[in-house]
Homo-oligomer: A and B are copies of this chain.
């Protein structure tokens, strides 16, 4: 068992920055392990703050922490210490935000993986950091081990990015890419929970709130636009069924939870939703828990980043990279950010799936309602082998305003023969990648 040292008893090494970990869970213990294994110059783990230190010290992960590290259950011990860099891995807005503010106000740099906090309060925290000559780095908050944030901030600041999209939630991607092989939502979710990829309450992941926070952060750094996370529409993947993968496969497509934000004049068009993805797009190749982000710039065109978005060790890579950047005083490029209104309205082609009690006139009924609202049917596909009394079939419609389509689809859903509300998914375009 590791020993609990008295706070303040260790000596600082000259030129070495002391790191304090807030939270010693999966990511925190991986950060400690990585720092210990790599022995990176100029940084040293000094403090670990966690509830129930005795319990943590009895665990296996604590064995990898150097004996010189001071453990504490009192946040004051850390905020009042000689730690140079505070690494916040607890999550949640409160008390994490309050503690980060205190650390920044006292000139300590902060590294965090806290996507909700950075989505809601990132702008004001960054101002506080700048005012106090401290760094605030949050590379682990989006796409874990994939260096999207440093890549965009340091490598694409010269471009004028107009769109950012991608797969930002590994849980949804695991579920949907498993469903590709024919499995049903409920069984794959159960498997994901068994493997530790999904929480007992999967709401934050499957209903899009996790991805939404990440999209808001990306929108700030890539598009220079500050948007209200609550104003971004998030749609659940819960209604996607095995049948949708059969039908989209015939279209040369698959289905993924896509987060997408685009600058359009003074507004940002942003949504998180399951969407139909042509297989020729890089994001269609994102399997399992992989994350993929695609930026599109006026000058440089599409840039793709892909890798492991979650898990202790990939996330720890992002955290330790940020610790090194903070320790070396490598500030991130900062460009002006503007507050922008956000809308979920987009003009796009869509996939519609109906489940009906089959009788004559259904297709003409649907076609009639669509035509009345000037929405053009693109294709109808009905495969054999399903019972007439519970018949699934699909239609695709040409680009139209999604808000209008939603109302029209609701009207279609009120037809007698409809057994459930029709499913309506945006189809991603195969964008021109030339520059």
Interface hit among A100-108, A146-154, A180-188, A249-257: A146-154
Does the CB pair B303–A147 fall under 8 Å? yes
Asked if A324 contacts B158 (CB within 8 A), the reply is yes
- The count of chain A contact residues (Cβ–Cβ below 8 Å) is 61
A321–B155 touching, CB < 8 Å: yes
Nearest-neighbor residue (CB-CB) of A326 within chain B: B333
Chain B residues with CB under 8 Å of A334's CB are: 328
- Give me 7 other A-B pairs in contact (C-beta within 8 A), A158-B324, A299-B317, A325-B333 excluded: A34-B299, A145-B299, A146-B155, A150-B151, A158-B322, A304-B306, A324-B333
How does the 8 Å CB contact mask read for A282-318 relative to B, with 1 for contact and 0 for none?
A: 1001000010000001011111111110010110111
**Does A227 interact with chain B (Cβ within 8 Å)?**
no
Q: Shortest Cβ distance from A129 into chain B, in angstroms?
A: 14
A376 an interface residue at 8 Å Cβ cutoff? no
Closest to A149 in B: B155
A151: which B residues are within 8 A, CB to CB? 147, 150-151, 154-155, 305
Say yes or no: B331 contacts A157, CB within 8 Å: no
Which B residues are CB-close (under 8 A) to A158? 34, 38, 40, 316-324
Q: State in angstroms the CA–CA spacing of A333 and B308 once bound together.
A: 22
Instruction: Indicate if A156 sits at the interface (CB-CB under 8 A).
Output: yes
Contact status of A335 and B40, CB under 8 A, knowing A145-B301, A308-B300: yes
A223 to chain B, nearest CB (A): 14
Indicate whether A160 reaches chain B with its CB closer than 8 angstroms: yes
A265 within 8 A of B: no
Q: Are B41 and A303 in contact (CB under 8 A)?
A: no
Chain A positions 235-289 with a Cβ under 8 Å from a chain B Cβ: 282, 285
A330 part of interface (Cβ distance < 8 Å): yes
Q: Do residues A330 and B328 form an inter-chain contact, with CB atoms below 8 A?
A: no
Contacting residues, chain B, for A324 (C-beta < 8 A): 157-158, 333, 335
Given contacts A324-B333, A333-B324, contact A307 B317 (CB under 8 A): no
Could you tell me if A307 and B316 are in contact, using CB atoms closer than 8 angstroms? no
Question: In the complex, which residues of chain B have a beta carbon less than 8 angstroms from the beta carbon of A290?
Answer: 433
Q: Is A341 an interface residue (CB 8 A)?
A: no
Copies of this chain, complex-wide, total 2
Is A389 located at the chain interface by the 8 A CB criterion? no
Neighbouring B residues of A300 by C-beta, 8 Å: 145, 307-308, 313-314, 317
Quick one: which of B38, B159, B328 contacts A333, CB cutoff 8 A?
B328
On whether the beta carbons of B303 and A304 are closer than 8 Å, the reply is: no
- Spell out A's residues near B (CB within 8 Å): 30, 34, 37-38, 40-41, 139, 145-160, 282, 285, 290, 297, 299-308, 311, 313-314, 316-325, 328-336, 433, 435
User: What B residues does A34 contact at CB under 8 A?
Assistant: 158, 299
User: Do the beta carbons of B297 and A302 come within 8 Å of each other?
Assistant: no
15 cross-chain CB contacts under 8 A = A34-B299, A41-B335, A145-B303, A147-B303, A151-B151, A156-B317, A156-B321, A158-B319, A282-B306, A299-B313, A300-B307, A302-B308, A306-B306, A313-B435, A328-B334
Cross-chain contact A157 with B299 (CB below 8 angstroms):
no
Contact of A147 among B155, B285, B329 (CB under 8 A): B155
Kindly identify which residue among B41, B299, B333 contacts A316, using a CB–CB cutoff of 8 Å. B299
How far apart sit A330 and B331, CA to CA, in the bound complex (Å)?
5
| Minimal beta-carbon separation of A180 from chain B (angstroms) | 14
Collect the chain B residues with CB atoms within 8 Å of residue A153's CB.
154
Give every chain B residue within 8 A of A285 (Cβ-Cβ).
282, 285
B303 touches A303 (CB 8 A): no
Q: Which residue of B lies closest to A319 (CB)?
A: B158
Q: A38-B160, A303-B307 are in contact. Are A318 and B154 (CB under 8 A)?
A: no
CB of A29, distance to nearest CB on chain B (Å): 13
Please give, as numbers and ranges, the residues of chain B lying within 8 Å of A336 by CB-CB distance: 41
B313 touches A307 (CB 8 A): no
A321–chain B nearest beta-carbon distance, Å: 4
Of all chain B residues, the one with the shortest Cβ separation from A314 is B300
Known: A300-B313, A301-B314, A334-B328. A156 touches B147 (CB 8 A): yes
